[in-house]
């Protein structure tokens, strides 16, 4: 039996001014895949109902436009950091969900973790890990569909940890001809890294042309590497 969709089409459906598309449904791998294919993502707290969003404007990064400061490049070239892919997906998502700056709340609920781990086991969700002195110092995770990477969250336990993760991701995606990194909502921090806002309909047009493309998945199995090795990817 075909599953009935609970998620509307963002191009033809009503949305609130902040991008709220729908309330309710389930958080599992199947619903997440449907949501991302429509440009929709979940965002809610433990004590709230499931909420689905498609904001206007949309924060995105063109992989080639990642802005690396001199300080960041100095850290990358220092040889002290190692980057791995999908080695510690659960550790990354747990670190992203950990309380920050004294705030005990998190939007990465137990159900969300289980759903993204399910996507990871299916080969759609991936993590970038950054290591310093054999310890995990930063990372990010997200969902890969076609030629778009939907970045969900990142963390940093040491200076530059999350920035190196995003740098490595952008370079890897360049080499594999990805079109966009979806960052959802703009923040001052993301803006300094080269993220910009585009109209929702522009994003949805790019999504329709890119999310269905075939993706060479071999690069998600790269062995750990020095991030400085990626400088030649332009």
**Pairwise CA distance, residues 213 & 184, whole Å:** 21
Q: How confident is the model at residue 94, as a pLDDT? A: 96
Q: What is the pLDDT of residues 93-116, one digit of tens each?
A: 999 998 776 555 577 889 999 999
- % of the chain beyond a pLDDT of 90: 74
What's phi and psi for 30, nearest 5 deg? -65, -45
**Helices 89-97 and 110-121, interaxial angle, to 10°?**
160
- Give Cα 95 distance to the centre of its chain: 14
Please report which confidence band the pLDDT of residue 215 belongs to, taking 50, 70 and 90 as the band edges.
low
Which value, in Å, is the radius of gyration of the alpha carbons in the chain? 17
- pTM (two decimals): 0.92
What pLDDT sits at residue 1? 34
Q: Please report the pLDDT score of residue 45 as a whole number.
A: 86
Higher pLDDT, 100 or 127: 127
Angle value at C-alpha 25, between 14 and 152, nearest 5 degrees: 80
Name the residue with higher pLDDT: 183 or 218: 183
DSSP state of 105: -
Nearest to 131 by CA among 99, 98, 164: 164
Over the stretch 3-31, which tens digit does the pLDDT of each residue have? 456 688 888 877 778 899 999 988 999 99
- pLDDT band for position 208 (cuts 50, 70, 90): confident
Q: What are the residues whose beta carbons fall under 8 Å from the beta carbon of 62, sequence distance 6 or more?
A: 179, 180, 181, 194
Does residue 30 have a cis peptide bond before it, meaning omega lies within 30 degrees of 0? no
| pLDDT of 38 over the 80 cut | yes
pLDDT of amino acid 188: 95
Residue-wise pLDDT for 179-192, tens only, equals 999 999 999 999 99
191 near 197, Cβ under 8 Å? no
Considering all CA atoms of the chain, what is the largest pairwise distance in Å, rounded to the nearest integer?
56
pLDDT tens track for 140-162 = 999 999 999 999 999 999 999 99
Strand partners, 198: 58
State the pLDDT at residue 2.
43
pLDDT band of residue 232 (cuts 50, 70, 90) is: confident
Say which CATH architecture domain 20-55 belongs to: 2-Layer Sandwich (3.30)
Tell me what the pLDDT averaged over the chain comes to: 90
Pairing of strands 41-42, 58-61: unpaired
d(CA 147, CA 214): 8
Q: Decide: 106 and 96 in contact? Cβ < 8 Å.
A: no
Q: Return the exposure string of 185-221: e unless at least 16 CB atoms fall within 10 Å of the residue's CB, then b.
A: bbeeebeebbbebbebeebbebbeebbeeebeeeeee
Calculated CA dihedral for residues 71, 186, 222, 90, nearest 10 degrees: 110
Each residue's pLDDT tens digit, 193-206: 999 999 999 999 99
Q: How confident is the model at residue 213 (pLDDT cuts 50, 70, 90)?
A: low
Task: Please state, in angstroms and rounded to a whole number, the distance separating the CA atoms of residues 56 and 11.
Answer: 11
Class of domain 59-230: alpha beta
- Taking the domains of the chain in order of start, what are their residue ranges? 20-55, 59-230
């Amino acid at each position: 039996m075909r599953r009935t969709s609970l998620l509307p089409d963002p191009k033809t459906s009503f949305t609130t001014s902040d991008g709220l598309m729908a309330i309710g449904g389930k958080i599992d791998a199947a619903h997440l895949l449907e949501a991302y294919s429509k440009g929709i993502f979940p965002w809610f707290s433990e004590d709230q109902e499931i909420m689905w969003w498609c904001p206007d404007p949309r924060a995105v990064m063109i992989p080639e436009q990642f802005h690396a400061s001199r300080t960041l490049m100095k850290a990358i070239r220092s040889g002290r950091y190692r980057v791995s892919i999908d080695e510690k997906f659960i550790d990354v998502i747990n670190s992203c969900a950990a309380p920050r700056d004294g705030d005990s709340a998190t939007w990465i609920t137990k159900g969300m973790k289980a759903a993204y781990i399910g996507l990871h086991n299916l080969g759609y969700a991936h993590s970038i890990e950054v290591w310093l002195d054999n310890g995990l110092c930063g990372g990010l995770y997200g969902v890969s569909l076609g030629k778009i990477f939907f970045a969900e969250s990142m963390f940093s336990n040491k200076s530059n940890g999350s920035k190196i993760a995003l740098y490595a991701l952008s370079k890897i995606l360049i080499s594999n001809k990805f079109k966009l990194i979806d960052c959802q909502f703009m923040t001052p921090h993301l803006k300094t890294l080269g993220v910009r806002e585009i109209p929702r309909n522009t994003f949805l047009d790019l999504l329709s042309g890119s999310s269905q493309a075939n993706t060479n998945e071999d690069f998600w199995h790269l062995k750990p590497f020095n991030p400085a090795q990626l400088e030649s990817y332009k």
